[in-house]
Structure 1
Amino acid sequence: MPNELTSHLELAIAFLKMGALIFGGGFAIIALIETEVVTGQGWLTHKEFLDGLALGQVTPGPITIMATFVGYKVAGLTGALVATLGIYTPGIALVILTTRYLNRIQNSVWARAFLSGIKPATVGILLAVSLRLAMTMLPEPVGVAFAGISLFILLVFKMEAWVLILAGGLLGLILG
């Protein structure tokens, strides 16, 4: 039992920490999750992480799916619950604590300066995650080509991302 308790405690701490650092939306936290669960804790292999990430992209709520996936791999159903609650608890607590002071916070020079620093850092994190994922997930020229075409379609034609994800899945089935 101590092992199970330790796993749950480690999951709770890891996902509370990650939940407290979510800025810039779901993709910004992918690098943090990868560093924690693959490199830091060794809970998942890089392939397992990418499988969980892919699963999260074809379902609603990719961060919820990723947290639940990691928690389940580490400690079963209760681990899934611990990780999922952990990722959201800091954000929920922050909303509850700051709602009363929202007008003051929004008009604060300090808060605006803080957020203006977070924005470029988040873009940098997203670019780093994208490059790391591209190097891992695109070992073949056809994958690189489809990624380039997808990027072009997203930027030029503003197509919904889910359509491209579905098309990529179908392309994978066809190319086997």
Structure 2
Amino acid sequence: MSKNQDTSLKYLFFTFLKIGAISWGGFMALISVVQQQLVEKDKKVADGVILDSISLASVLPGPLAFNVVSYLGYYLRGIKGALVSMVAILLPSFFLILILTYVYFVYDQVPAFNNFFLGVLPAVAAIIISVAANMSKKNIKDYRQVIILVFSGLSLVLFRSFYTTMLIMAVGGISGYFFYRNTISTDNKTVPVKIKLNFRVLISGVLGIAGLVLLIWLLPVFFQGENSGKATMVRDISLTFSGMSLTLFGGGYVIIPAIQEIVVDGLNWLNTNEFSDAIAMGQITPGPIFISATFIGYKVGGLLGAIAATIAIFFPPAFFMIFCSRFIDQIKRSKTISAIFKGLRPAVIGMIFAAAFTIGRGVELNWQTILLFASVLVLSIKFKINVAYLIPISGLAGVLLFA
């Protein structure tokens, strides 16, 4: 995987900090902001890199958008770039939900963000459509890719689940193989390749992970009294959330029931109402919806618990994503894999269109939302207005229009 050493760590930190502060709406909304910033505005990566990262993240566990950010940070500046990007994208939503959670448990209520969010949702749907349309222009080359795109979008709209996502990816890849395996030329530097595993790196990674898990498990042994109780709490939260993040597939909305079963029904860390409020906070704050883990961690163990839960839910699958991304360049030089990716890319774009529909479906249809949606769509597609301005302005417009 190539690294762009011209991209500074400072650029990555402040760029993803800004993206993390304005990305309402979950996975595809955040990816849309990333695409507009890194591809269209700053020209740091190509559309294909974004699509490759989404394709890889879609078949790996954990928060999809966060995994994509870790991939891009690693692509641009190696492991340091990945760490800086990962921390930066989380900081705004972490601190915001921490404040809201504190207010929630002190005053037993959540501040009224409803009107702001009513303005943001139609804007997010419009931005996702504009990004998907732009990607289509650059990546959809023939009618077969159009068919894959339409199949992907309709399937996810009609049958929204992790299994549908996996089926879409499988059908897209298989279709790409049969449609394009004989049309990929060696002029594109596609040659038969073998993926070479560095077993020393692999074994070191496995031993490192095993050692870290053992250290966390033994954490209470190193403390006494009250500190031992806190260490036990950190251990339980860390192992629970890291275990969930590495075994749950399909992104935030798909795995919410699984998380509820574990933290509400199984561990009794929250009641049903508190869990619903945690998910609501994840939706009304920017960044990944998995940030709801901060709320749960705070309820169980205060500030220390919030930090432990946030790190555990996001970082383990991100490092797994980085490890898998090391083989992207190798597998893409294969004619077979190149053909598969020609089917995967329109499938991913179709899922992006479906994400816009899913978000839009939750918006009440009235003249205010239609006005906001149409305005943002025109400003985004025709005038290329930066999403950093469109989303906050849309939220403020919602406050005025729905007052």
Alpha-carbon RMSD: 2.2
Question: Equivalent of 1:167, from 156, 168, 171?
Answer: 171
Q: How far has the Cα of 1:26 moved from its partner?
A: 1.0
- Give the CA deviation at 1:55: 2.3
2:146 to 144, 147, 161: 144
Q: Match for residue 81 of structure 1?
A: 83
In structure 1, C-alpha distance between the alignment counterparts of 2:160 and 2:13, rounded to whole Å: 38
Structure 2: distance between partners of 1:45 and 1:153: 27
Q: Which stretch of the first structure deviates more once superposed, 14-23 or 165-174?
A: 165-174
Tell me the TM-score normalised to structure 2 length: 0.39
Compute the displacement of 1:158 (Å): 5.0
- Which consecutive residues of structure 1, in runs of 5 or more, have no partner in the other structure? none
Larger Rg, first or second structure (1 or 2): 2
Distance 1:53 1:99, change over 3 A: same
Query: Are 2:103 and 2:109, in contact at CA under 8 Å, matched by a contact in 1?
Result: yes
Distance in 1, matches of 2:102 and 2:39, equals: 38
Q: Who is 2:223 aligned against? A: none
Is the 2:7–2:77 contact (alpha carbons within 8 Å) kept by the matching residues of 1? no
Residues in 2 aligned to 1:114 and 1:105: alpha-carbon distance in whole angstroms:
14
The match for 1:65 is 67
Q: Deviations over 1:65-96 (max 9, x none)?
A: 22112111221111111111111121111111
Report the equivalent of 1:27.
28
Counterparts of 1:37 and 1:23, CA distance in 2: 18
CA displacement 1:20-68 (0-9 Å, x = unmatched): 1121101012221112212333321233233223323333332122211
Post-superposition CA distance 1:74-121 (Å, at most 9, x none): 211111111111111211111111112235435x3xx21111111111
1:169 deviates by 1.3
Rounded to whole Å, the distance in 2 between the matches of 1:35 and 1:150 is: 23
Q: How does 1:1-150 map onto structure 2 within 5 Å?
A: 7-60=8-61, 61-102=63-104, 103-106=108-111, 108=112, 111-150=113-152
Separation in structure 2 between the aligned mates of residue 74 and residue 154 of structure 1, nearest angstrom: 31
Give the length in aligned residue pairs: 170
- Give 5+ residue unaligned stretches, structure 2: 182-403
Between structures 1 and 2, the one with greater helix share: 1
The answer to whether the Cα contact below 8 Å between 2:35 and 2:131 also exists between their aligned partners in 1 is no
The structure-2 alpha-carbon separation of the partners of 1:41 and 1:155, relative to structure 1 and needing over 3 Å to count, comes to closer
Is the 1:70–1:80 Cα contact (8 Å) retained in structure 2? yes
If asked which structure has higher relative contact order (CA below 8 Å, sep 6+), I would say: 2
Cα contact 2:23–2:33 (8 A) shared by 1: no
